Structure formats: structure tokens, C-alpha cells
Structure 1
Amino acid sequence: MTTFVITVPGTFVHGISEDTCSAVERSLRPQDPKNTDLGESEDLSLLTVDEDGMFAARVEVEAADQSGAESEAVRLVSTALRDSGFSEEDAPLGAAIVTGIDSEF
């Protein structure tokens, strides 16, 4: 298995309060990329939100390949958003992007 740091972009269509943002972060905390060498060295934030509502969630996942890692990251972020009260229409996601790979041989 390989550890991937994946960035999942999206947009909060109707904005987001600080409390709700904290709830999304708490839900994603177990996948915080700061647990990886890349996340620590690059000081990656778990969730960043711009003033216009665009956001980037960065999560750490283990998977056999890039495709599996991207799918798992989207699933994790979607679940965190849904658990925080956002529908797919309220916070649509963009394509997941590999931010870093930490494979051990």
C-alpha cells in the first residue's frame, strides 16, 4: 500500500460559517495530511476556504494506486460534508488531485 496526500477542491455555494467549517475539519481530522512527511514539511492545511467559497480539502489515504486513492479521498470528503449538513448541490466537488506520494519499499 502507498500513502497518498490528495487534494479535493470544491465550492460552498451558499458560504460556510466558522462553526460549520470546524465541524467539517473535525470529521476529516483522522485523515489529516500533517501525519505524513509531506504534510508536515509543506505545512499542508486540512481545509482551506477562500472568501468566495472555494475550498480545498487535503486528506491522507492509503491505497494500492492513484485512482483508488483519489476515489477514497472524494468519498471521505463527501461524507464529511454530508455529515456537516451539506448536500452535493450545496458543496459540489471538483476532480481530486494527488498532492504527494509516500511509498515505502
Structure 2
Amino acid sequence: MTTYVITVPGTFLRGVVPDSVRSDIGRRLRPQDPRNTDLGESEELSVLTVEEDGMFAARVEVEAADRSQAEAEAVRLVSRALRDSGLAEEDSPLGPAVVTGIDSEF
């Protein structure tokens, strides 16, 4: 297994998401915080970044056998965090996941 840092982009389509919802999403993703990796720590990666226009990027640490499994798992984790925080899928669509880094120490 390899540890990947994956970035999952998306857009909040229904306007500004309250800070409480952003905090809840971040809390739900905290176990996969990329700051636990050398790359995440050195690059000071945040688990969730939200722009004023509603675009966001979630960055998560995922252990997987290969790149495609890591990307799929990251999308699943971010999607679940959004839904569990009360956001409907059509209100916060996700873009394609991208490998941001690979922690080769594992």
C-alpha cells in the first residue's frame, strides 16, 4: 500500500456555505488530513480550501494499492463528508480527483 495525497475539487452551487458547515466538513475529513504526510506538512496543505466564488478543494490522505484506487477512495470520502454535513450532491458537485503527492516512505 502507498500513501497518496489527493485533491478533490468541487463547487458549492447554492451560494456561500456557512462557516459552521465548512467546519463540519473539515472535521469529518480530519482523519484523512494530508498534514500527516511529509508532503502535506512541508506544503502546509489544508484539508479544505473554499474560494469566494464557491469553488473548493478538499485534500485528503489515502492509502491504496494504486493511483486510480486512491482517487476513487478520495472522491468517496469527500462526497460522504459533504452529504453528512447536509449538502445535496447536486448542490456541491465534485470534479475529477488529482494526485497531489505520493508519500514514498510507506
TM-score interval w.r.t. the shorter chain? Answer: over 0.9
Residue in 1 aligned with 2:6? 6
Unaligned runs of 5+ in 1: none
Residue in 2 aligned with 1:97? 98
Residue in 2 aligned with 1:74? 75
- How far 1:31 moved relative to its partner? 0.2
Residue in 2 aligned with 1:22? 23
4+ long deviations beyond 6 Å: none
- How far 1:87 moved relative to its partner? 1.1
Superposed, 1:31-70 pairs within 5 Å as 31-70=32-71
**Post-superposition CA distance 1:48-87 (Å, at most 9, x none):** 0000000000000000000000000000000000000011
Q: In 2, Cα distance between the equivalents of 1:39 and 1:102?
A: 9
Aligned residues: 105
- How far 1:36 moved relative to its partner? 0.3
AA aligned to 2:58 is A
- How far 1:104 moved relative to its partner? 3.5
AA aligned to 2:40 is G
- Tell me the secondary structure at the aligned position of residue 101 of structure 1: strand
Q: In 1, Cα distance between the equivalents of 2:88 and 2:4?
A: 26
Q: In 1, Cα distance between the equivalents of 2:67 and 2:88?
A: 26
- Tell me the secondary structure at the aligned position of residue 96 of structure 2: coil
**What is the TM-score normalised by the length of structure 2?**
0.97
Unaligned runs of 5+ in 2: none
- Tell me the secondary structure at the aligned position of residue 85 of structure 1: coil
